Amino acid sequence: MGSRRQSSLPNAGTLAPGFRLAKLEGGETTLAELTANGPVLLAFFKVTCPVCQMAMPYLERLHQEGGLRVYGISQNNAEDTREFNERFGVSFPTLLDSDDAGYPASNAYGISSVPTMFLVEADGKLGQVVEGWNRVDMESLGERAGMALFRAEDNVPAWKAG
């Protein structure tokens, strides 16, 4: 988990908490910069999380084939995150929200388990919140991206806690 537990996640329809985070490949970015060109999906994860590992190929599929920009937000250091991204074929941009920095974004979003995903609309409001793995919610993200996220050969569970 990695972050300090807050009372709850923000609800869809509320303003997404702003942040400034380091980019895995250098520099920094803010939520306002990310949403300047339209909606983004923020996917909080930890490299040791088995449910995060299961979700990554589908988030990558959203990134590669869909019309939705995906940003990973790793709760690990840069070295571990690079190794994870390479191992799981992650090519979407990744931000760092590590223990060294005090998990500023994870705490602002009330993260108590990963994966947790937030669809942030261009106006800065949360369009969807997904905690853990929920096939129906993931399918709706695929629809939002203009694609069928799952294929006939995909054998994914309906639900898994993060």
pLDDT in tens, 13-42: 999 999 999 999 999 999 999 999 999 999
Phi-psi region of 128 (alpha: psi -120 to 50; beta: other; left: phi over 0): beta
**Residue 153 forms part of a structural domain:** no
CA distance 17 to 144: 22
Q: Is residue 63 part of a domain?
A: yes
Q: Is residue 141 part of a domain?
A: yes
Q: What's the mean pLDDT in 36-63? A: 97
Amino acid at 80: D
- pTM for this entry: 0.94
CATH number at residue 59: 3.40.30.10
Q: Is residue 27 part of a domain?
A: yes
Domain extent for 101: 20-146
Residue 36 lies in a domain: yes
Q: How many CB atoms lie within 10 A of CB 75?
A: 26
pLDDT tops 60 at residue 52: yes
Distance CA 145, CA 26 (A): 27
Residue 8 lies in a domain: no
In a domain, 93, yes or no: yes
Q: What is the mean pLDDT of residues 136-157?
A: 96
Average pLDDT, the chain: 94
Residue 115 CB neighbours (<10 A): 25
Residue 5 lies in a domain: no
Distance CA 35, CA 47 (A): 25
Number of folded domains that form the chain: 1
Cα–Cα nearest to 52, from 128, 126, 122, 111: 111
